[in-house]
Structure 1
Amino acid sequence: MAPVIPGFDYRRVPVADGVSLNVAVAGSGSPIVLLHGFPQTHLMWRHVAADLAADHTVICPDLRGYGASDKPAADADADADADADANADADADTGADAVPAAYAKRTMAADIVALARALGHDRFALAGHDRGALVAFRAGLDHPATITHLACLDVLPTLDMWDVLHGTTAAVGFHLFLMAQPPGLPERMIAACPDDFFGHFLDLWAGDPRAIPAEVRAAYLDACRAAVPSIVADYRASAGVDADHDRADRDGGRRLTMPLTVVQQDWGAALGYDAAALWRAWADDLEHYTVGYGHFMAEEAPADIAKALRGLLSR
């Protein structure tokens, strides 16, 4: 049996036609939704979620395509896309292509808004790590009247990420380029040795391997092994429709208007960019922290991450 977050209630919540999310919920008080990264599931938040549940309603879903959530076909238009248009806040102009593909971050962000509303929350704070941070970023842009506070952990906005990856330093992001390729080859290559592929990142990116115990690591690998096509589709979207959406927003001057906290490693020193400056270009109210943890910071330094989120919620 897959591990769970102790004390959390598990349920499946429909968020679009044919798509339900696996979600863990606990606590009471103002709501905060926590979105996981790659190659993980909602379990990555287990320590932080338990801390925050002391005085907040904490909602931890598996993103569509990941974990125990539904995994619609990558080439299918998401029926949530119509919901993305209908549910977008009145002050968020989602543009002419408000009906993107199934794994566009716009679609995945609409899932999270629909999830929170199904649980009775029209406004909520949102924190994401890695891939979940990209979904959170898009939710903040598309749904500014819904997202009260925003946190993004160890990621750059999609368009900025592609802009800073160049030359030999881009080798650190080889998986981004692999999964951006047309359907077929990436899926076959990864499916041939999924534990080696996904385990590579769990090993390489962990500052403290003890932070991911054997049973949690096994759960991550089991979940990824069963989700290769949808994980690749998520990454492929970032090289296409997601970058297009970011470019349209950057060109149009759309910004994040809610309080934003960003916590990330000092990749800028190695790759030659100023991460805080890149984030300031998107946000009116930014607190940016550079830390010495590994990538899996919510598992490696949960007390610090919970403190950062509490600080965000107090703004």
Structure 2
Amino acid sequence: MPESDPFLPGFALHDIDAGDVRIRVSLGGSGPPLLLMHGHPQTHATWGRIAPRLAERHSVVAMDLRGYGDSEKPPGGERHAAYSKRAMAADAVAVMRSLGHERFAVVGHDRGGRVAHRLALDHAGAVERLAVFDIAPTATMYALTDKAFATRYFWWFFLIQPAPLPEKLIAADPEFFLRTHIDGQSKTPGATPPELFAEYLRCYTSEGAIHAICEDYRAAAGIDLEHDADDADKRIEAPLLALWGARGTVGQIYDVLETWREKARDVSGRALDCGHTLQEERPEEVLAELRAFLG
């Protein structure tokens, strides 16, 4: 019997073979398929306040990205390619196909949004609609890096340092690092309750997790930028919804809609009065936006 998900009421946990990696997913609901992908330093548990409501209308698949949560954490390999967004997007397609979903809507927060961006380029026929939360495109953010961005998003430059420097420094006090990271990005006190933080810490300190997360960021600063450059003239064909926190770094530094209009043909969206983790800070508003967008 599948295990009930303690963070997504009414959902059940499953492990799915995505080819070269085992992916943990939480499944619930019925209707048109919808894939949810979390960011760093979260897991699929971040969707706990909205996934059960979305499951009233959709077959919801909330997955742990490779390297995160209870998904497998393979070696990064040459050029950190195992953690490229291309590899993670292929995981998502394999997971959805194994569940019988050839075409589906996608919602991605933070790193999950970057995987969703690559998914919409590499597997355009699979993506019906795409929503990204609190990100501008990766290549855009690196190209426009300045002191303000580097200061606020220091981990983009810390985690990419050669192993084992960031791994060892984080491992010295992972709870402090995780708490500082989450509290610094959220602008809504109490949005991440103690039991949810404890789950994130459990996963963050699991074997291989910190190294895998660093590999994710190393890939983003290298091979992912190469893939983005190769596809500089391609545009996302699916309708794209961009939501972001007005009080967060992305919302204060970038014209978010304009950055996505450079990458996609049909873009809409707006800011919410919160920080980085919209689904935890403003779940009702996020739910309303997604219901209107997904139909």
TM-score (norm. length: structure 2)? 0.93
Quote the residue 1:44 is aligned against.
46
Deviation at 1:204, TM superposition (A): 1.0
Q: Secondary structure at the match of 2:65?
A: coil
Cross-structure match for 2:66 = 64
Inter-partner Cα distance in structure 1 for 2:226 and 2:78: 19
5 Å matches for 1:142-221? 142-221=122-201
Of the three residues 211, 222, 247, the one matched with 1:229 is 211
2:77 to 75, 92, 97: 75
Q: Does the alignment pair 1:55 with 2:67?
A: no
TM-aligned CA deviation for residue 209 of structure 1: 2.6
Write the distance in 1 (CA, Å) between the matches of 2:102 and 2:35: 12
The equivalent of 1:117 in structure 2 is 97
Letter in 1 for 2:71: S
Aligned-residue RMSD, C-alpha: 1.7
User: Structure 1 regions of 5+ residues with no counterpart?
Assistant: 78-99
Q: Which moved more, 1:292-301 or 1:147-156?
A: 292-301
* Matching residue of 1:101: 81
Q: Give the Å deviation of 1:106.
A: 0.2
Q: How far apart are the structure 1 equivalents of 2:5 and 2:195? A: 8
Q: Within 5 Å, which residues of 2 pair with 1:127-142?
A: 127-142=107-122
Distance (Å, rounded) in 1 between the aligned partners of 2:64 and 2:148:
34
Q: 1:266-302 deviations in whole A, cap 9, x for unaligned? A: 446743x422211100111100212221211101111
Please say if residues 3 and 219 of structure 1, whose CA atoms lie closer than 8 Å, have aligned partners that are also in contact.
no
Give the one of 276, 279, 286 matched to 1:298: 279
Residues 28-37 or 180-189, more deviating: 180-189
Aligned residues: 288
Partner of residue 285, structure 1: 266
Q: 1:169 to 1:33 in 2, by over 3 A?
A: closer
The superposition leaves residues 125-175 of structure 1 with CA deviations (integer Å, 9 ceiling, x where unpaired) of 000000111001110111110000000000111101112221344211110
CA distance, structure 1, for counterparts of residue 277 and residue 47 of structure 2? 10
- Provide the rounded CA distance (Å) in 2 between the counterparts of 1:170 and 1:231: 19
Q: Match for 2:171: what amino acid?
A: A
Shift in CA distance, 228/268, structure 1 to aligned 2, threshold 3 Å:
closer
Cα 1:168–1:207, aligned 2, differ >3 Å: closer, same or farther? Answer: closer
Three-state SS of the structure 2 residue aligned to 1:211 is coil
Structure 2: stretches of 5+ with no match in the other structure: none
Q: Percent identity?
A: 41
Aligned to 1:13: 16
The answer (yes or no) to whether the contact 1:28–1:56 under 8 Å persists in 2 is yes
TM-score norm. by structure 1 comes to: 0.88
